[in-house]
């Protein structure tokens, strides 16, 4: 079994970005907006700020109270849309219930939508002609590439059909010529379908969602889940200890997909900067 080391792969990607930025004198700028005080969101935002500092980016953080109105939030996004120092705008999800996430995502200028959550970006990912990569799924693809895991012609099963993970993950694997099945909470025979997977990606958000009896001997197991356990620690969806005995490759949580998501966000921000400044 090979333990997929997302930290190292993400570090290599950030190092490449940081040296390009330093050598060429680039100043990509990322604005991160957080609304409310969800502890998980706070951790993600802090990690994104740290990655910006590491890569030599300019970054701004806007922390709005949970009571902020949709109007206020969209006014801030419009100000950032017009700000030349800012190449990428990211609004950390989830947002408080009184704010319409879709309206907020769509308010971000397409050239600055580095999370690639807008309808237009999602559509481009489906067609396979996109500038901004969907961060988490692209991070998974980068891990597969780094470990020389061939997906062409293989059976890939994804558990989860969210717009930010499951669906774009299916598209990227399909573009890489895998035969893709997407499972979800209503799927019948989940165990059997998962057992047919050469590559199994779990994006459910539940501890223990993937048990060893769902995994084929020698499968590649990618755990996207990040769940806070009753022990206060972070856990994936996969029963890691049991599944690692069957998998050929497996990602840990933490230290698997999570760091890759942030590294791809940095890559998208650098792309946005070059495109906004007409650099080839
Ligand atoms: P989501 O809640 O939007 O989607 C969960 C999906 O799982 C749904 O499509 C649902 O149908 C499916 N599901 C739920 N219960 C199921 C069951 N019992 N059997 C089969 N399918 C089931 O979540 P999301 O935003 O896609 O995130 C999924 C997980 O990935 C979460 O733990 C989240 O924290 C994590 N995540 C990690 C990263 C990262 O960088 N590693 C990025 C985004 C999300």
Q: Kindly provide the residue ranges of all beta strands, DSSP E only, lying in the chain, ordered along the sequence.
A: 2-3, 29-35, 58-64, 88-91, 155-159, 179-183, 199-202, 220-223, 227-228, 234-235, 249-250
Q: Is 135 in the pocket of ligand 1 (CB under 6 A)?
A: no
- Residue 181: per-residue pLDDT: 99
200: nearest Cα among 187, 190, 185, 186: 190
Q: Which residue is closest in CA terms to ligand 1's atom 24?
A: 162
3 alpha carbon – ligand 1 mean position (Å): 22
Q: Is 215 in the pocket of ligand 1 (CB under 6 A)?
A: no
Give the span between the Cα atoms of 162 and 216, in whole angstroms. Answer: 24
Write out the H or E segment, with its range, that includes residue 40: helix 39-55
150 alpha carbon – ligand 1 mean position (Å): 25
- Residue 280: per-residue pLDDT: 84
Q: From 13, 133, 162, 256, give the residue whose CB has the most ligand 1 atoms within 8 Å, as the site to mutate.
A: 162
pLDDT means over runs of 10, the chain (280 residues) = 98 98 98 96 95 98 98 98 98 97 98 96 95 97 98 98 97 98 98 98 98 98 97 97 98 98 98 95
Q: Is 185 in the pocket of ligand 1 (CB under 6 A)?
A: yes
**Count of C-beta atoms within a 10 Å radius of residue 85:** 11
21 alpha carbon – ligand 1 mean position (Å): 34
- Residue 11: per-residue pLDDT: 98
Ligand 1 closest atom vs CA 206: 32
Task: Quote the pTM value.
Answer: 0.97
Q: Which residue is closest in CA terms to ligand 1's atom 36?
A: 225
Q: Is 251 in the pocket of ligand 1 (CB under 6 A)?
A: no
- C-beta of residue 239 within 8 angstroms of C-beta of residue 211: yes
Give the span between the Cα atoms of 160 and 205, in whole angstroms. Answer: 9
Q: Which residues, 6 or more positions from 53, have their beta carbon under 8 angstroms from its beta carbon?
A: 59
- Active site amino acids: 48, 92, 115
Ligand 1 closest atom vs CA 236: 32
The conformation of residue 134, written as its DSSP 8-state character, comes to P
Q: Is 98 in the pocket of ligand 1 (CB under 6 A)?
A: no
Q: Is 28 in the pocket of ligand 1 (CB under 6 A)?
A: no
Q: Is 41 in the pocket of ligand 1 (CB under 6 A)?
A: no
239 alpha carbon – ligand 1 mean position (Å): 15
């Amino acid at each position: 079994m090979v333990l997929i080391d997302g930290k190292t792969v993400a570090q290599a990607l950030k190092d490449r970005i940081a040296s390009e930025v330093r050598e060429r004198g680039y100043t990509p700028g990322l604005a991160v907006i957080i609304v409310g005080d969800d502890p998980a969101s706070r951790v993600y935002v802090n990690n994104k700020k740290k990655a910006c500092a590491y890569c030599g980016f300019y970054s701004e953080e806007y922390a709005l109270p949970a009571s902020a109105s949709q109007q206020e939030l969209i006014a801030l996004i419009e100000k950032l849309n017009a700000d030349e120092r800012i190449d990428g705008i990211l609004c950390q999800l989830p947002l408080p219930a009184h704010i319409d996430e879709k309206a907020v995502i769509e308010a971000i200028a397409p050239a600055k939508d580095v999370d690639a959550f807008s309808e237009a970006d999602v559509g481009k990912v489906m067609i396979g002609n996109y500038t901004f990569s969907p961060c988490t799924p692209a991070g998974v693809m980068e891990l597969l590439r780094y470990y020389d895991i061939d997906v062409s012609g293989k059976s890939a099963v994804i558990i989860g059909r969210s717009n930010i993970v499951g669906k774009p993950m299916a598209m990227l694997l399909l573009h890489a010529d895998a035969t893709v099945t997407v499972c979800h909470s209503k799927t019948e025979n989940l165990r059997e379908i998962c057992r047919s997977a050469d590559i199994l990606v779990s994006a459910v958000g539940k501890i223990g969602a993937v048990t060893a009896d769902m995994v084929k001997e020698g499968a590649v197991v990618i755990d996207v889940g990040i769940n806070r356990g009753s022990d206060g620690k972070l856990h994936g969806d996969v029963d890691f200890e049991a599944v690692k005995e069957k998998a050929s490759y497996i990602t840990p949580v933490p230290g698997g997909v999570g760091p890759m998501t942030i590294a791809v966000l940095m890559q998208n921000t650098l792309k946005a900067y070059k495109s906004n400044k007409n650099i080839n």
